[in-house]
Chains A and B, each alone.
Chain A
Amino acid sequence: QKEVEQNSGPLSVPEGAIASLNCTYSDRGSQSFFWYRQYSGKSPELIMFIYSNGDKEDGRFTAQLNKASQYVSLLIRDSQPSDSATYLCAAYSNTGNQFYFGTGTSLTVIP
C-alpha cells in the first residue's frame, strides 16, 4: 500500500464545471498536505497547502482535509481548459519525518 494514493484518472470535466480530485493517505502521523499542479514537461507548481481539518479556499481552488477519514481533496470551481494538467497530492508525516508524493491524477477540462 502506498502512503499517498490518488486515482490516476484521466478525469474529464466540461469547462465551467467543478473538478474534484481526491487523495487518501495511510500514515496517521501525516499532518501537512500539499497540492501541486504539473503541466506536461514542466515542474510541479504549488497550488494549495492545508494543515487543519476543514476547508481552505484560494480563488477557484478549495482544499478539504478530513484527518479522521484520512483523505484530502482539491476542488476546482469554474474549471478552465488551462487547468488541464496532472495534480499531485503530497503529505508530510512527523512519524519518522517523512514526505510522500502521490502518483498524480490527470485532469482534462473539455472546452
Chain B
Amino acid sequence: DAGVIQSPRHEVTEMGQEVTLRCKPISGHNSLFWYRQTMMRGLELLIYFNNNVPIDDSGMPEDRFSAKMPNASFSTLKIQPSEPRDSAVYFCASSPTGLNQPQHFGDGTRLSIL
C-alpha cells in the first residue's frame, strides 16, 4: 500500500517567493496533519484536517501560512511570502480518524529559503 506522498522532496527558493508543498494522504485515512521540524523547536503541529475540514490551525505561525484540502486525496501548504526563518523540514501525516490514532508520516519536504 502506498504511504503518505509528499512533493517536492527538496525546495530551494529566494525570500519573498511563494512556496507550495503538496501531500497525498493514505487512501481511506480521514485525517491529515501538517508539521514543521527544526532543530530548535522540534516537531510542531501546524494544522490538521478531518474529512477535508480544517479543525485546528492554531499552530500556523503567521498569516503567511495557509493550508487547504480540496478533496480527500490532496492537501497543500502554502507560504507567501517566504522568509529565511521558514527554512525547515515540513512533514505531512495522516491517520484513520483524528489525533488519538497513530499517524503515518510522509518523507517530508526540506525547504530552504535563501
Contact = CB atoms under 8 A, between A and B. Distances in A.
B43 A101 contact: yes
A92 B105 contact: no
Q: Interface on chain A toward B: helix, strand, loop, or mixed SS?
A: strand
A49 B99 contact: no
B71 interface: no
A44 B100 contact: no
A44 B93 CA distance: 10
A94 interface: yes
A30 B2 CA distance: 31
B46 to A, nearest CB: 12
Interface in B55-95: 55-56, 91
A4 B56 CA distance: 20
A49 B102 contact: yes
Contact of A94 (B100, B101, B108): B100
Given A31-B100, A92-B100, A98-B99, A44 B91 contact: yes
Interface of B: 42-45, 55-56, 91, 99-108
9 contacts: A31-B100, A34-B102, A34-B103, A43-B91, A43-B105, A44-B105, A97-B99, A101-B42, A101-B43
Interface of A: 31-32, 34, 36, 42-46, 49, 88, 92, 94, 97-99, 101-104
